[in-house]
Structure 1
Amino acid sequence: MRRALDALYAASAGLAALSLFAIFVVMMAQVAMREMNMQLPGADDLSAYLCVATTFFALGATFKRGELIRVGMGIERAGPRLRRAMELLVLALAAVLIGYVAWWTAQDVIFSREIEEVAQGTVPFPLWIPKLAMPLGSGILLIAILDEFVTVLRGEIPGYVRAAEERAAAGDFSAEV
């Protein structure tokens, strides 16, 4: 199970990287085409949707690596039992919130597909396709949160805490605010 979950997070991060690379390709195509007095139709819309895909697909892997913003001032000062209870509470609240986001973004995708909604820009492509990144990415983040919830339930240190501690031990404070 651990391998499958780690593969899911890696695949999601790969999709985020691919989306980011696609933004680069679109921007470079725009630059090249401007030099030839041409325009790439729909480039602005495509870049915007790729930004959303990059963000949502990166969420799960970023969370597991402990690189999302986390305010730990209170929780880090708590004793082990209180800290575990606080971690479980926060992870449960996060799961509810992200589950809500995943549900409603999925409903939006379904609705967009049902009404055959298309982009209003120069290229009228079906909007359910780029919108799909939101429920998929938030669903993967939900899985990552539940994964950490089970880890804490078992009495283990969450992966995001372990990753942050490893970075700090190596002298890397780049993710700390």
Structure 2
Amino acid sequence: MDALTAILDRLARASGAAAAASLAAIALIIGAQIVARLLGQQIPAADDFAGWAMAASAFLALPYALRNGDHIRVTLIAQMLPKSWHRGLDIVATAIGVGLACWGAWSVVRFVLDSWEFDEVAQGMLAVPLWIPQLSMAVGMVLFALMMADRLLRVSLGLPLSEKADGDASRTE
């Protein structure tokens, strides 16, 4: 289990780094577009690339955020139940989350494959094959589904999630 944990932790960190790089790319693209416009020029498809980077940052951040316990959890129901039911509730909620994450991953992967099969290209100034920027969405969702499945396994076996993901008392949930 330790080897799997190490691999998933590395994947989550890499995904988080890619999400951060995507946010930096947005800043660079927007900054370059501002400078270009001040000089009376325009960067072709800058809006498209900024939008794709925004999608990449959102999807690639999902696995990292889950691995670090940064997703918002609603504890209203758990607060109304006896403490002895909390673990069972966590297992059920995580199982539902796994199902939704797997369905989302399957749907996004299918979407990207459709774009690739039908040779879809961006309608903007540059004819970029759409599967290329969409690939980050598929990678993020597949990794998120893997992280959710690992969480379900850990919660079911009573294993620790991570230092941060176990939740601390000072964290608002």
Question: Which letter does structure 2 place at the counterpart of 1:18?
Answer: A
Structure 1 contact 101–135 (Cα < 8 Å) conserved: no
In the alignment, the residues of structure 1 paired with residue 78 and residue 160 of structure 2 have an alpha-carbon distance, to the nearest angstrom, of: 13
In the alignment, which of 48, 53, 59 is matched to residue 50 of structure 1?
53
In the alignment, which of 16, 19, 23 is matched to residue 16 of structure 1?
19
| 1:6 corresponds to 2:9 | yes
Question: Which letter does structure 2 place at the counterpart of 1:118?
Answer: V
Question: Which letter does structure 1 place at the counterpart of 2:78?
Answer: I
In the alignment, the residues of structure 1 paired with residue 15 and residue 54 of structure 2 have an alpha-carbon distance, to the nearest angstrom, of: 14
Point out the more displaced range, 51-60 or 28-37.
Answer: 28-37
Q: List runs of 5+ in structure 2 lacking aligned partners.
A: none
TM-superposed CA distance for 1:89, in Å, is: 0.7
TM-superposed CA distance for 1:26, in Å, is: 0.4
2:101 counterpart residue number? 98
| 1:154 corresponds to 2:166 | no
| 1:63 corresponds to 2:66 | yes
In the alignment, the residues of structure 1 paired with residue 133 and residue 51 of structure 2 have an alpha-carbon distance, to the nearest angstrom, of: 10
Structure 1 contact 16–55 (Cα < 8 Å) conserved: yes
Structure 1 contact 52–134 (Cα < 8 Å) conserved: yes
Deviations 1:97-147 (A, max 9, x none): 111111011111111011100000111100001111112101111111111
Q: Given the two structures, how large is their TM-score scaled by the length of structure 1?
A: 0.89
Identical-pair percentage? 30
TM-superposed CA distance for 1:73, in Å, is: 2.0
Q: Given the two structures, how large is their TM-score scaled by the length of structure 2?
A: 0.91
Aligned-residue CA RMSD (Å): 1.6
Structure 1 residues 1-177: aligned runs within 5 Å: 1-159=4-162, 161-162=165-166, 164-165=167-168, 168=170, 173=171, 176=172
Question: Which letter does structure 1 place at the counterpart of 2:5?
Answer: R
In the alignment, the residues of structure 2 paired with residue 51 and residue 161 of structure 1 have an alpha-carbon distance, to the nearest angstrom, of: 25
Question: Which letter does structure 2 place at the counterpart of 1:117?
Answer: E
TM-superposed CA distance for 1:74, in Å, is: 1.9
In the alignment, the residues of structure 1 paired with residue 165 and residue 70 of structure 2 have an alpha-carbon distance, to the nearest angstrom, of: 10
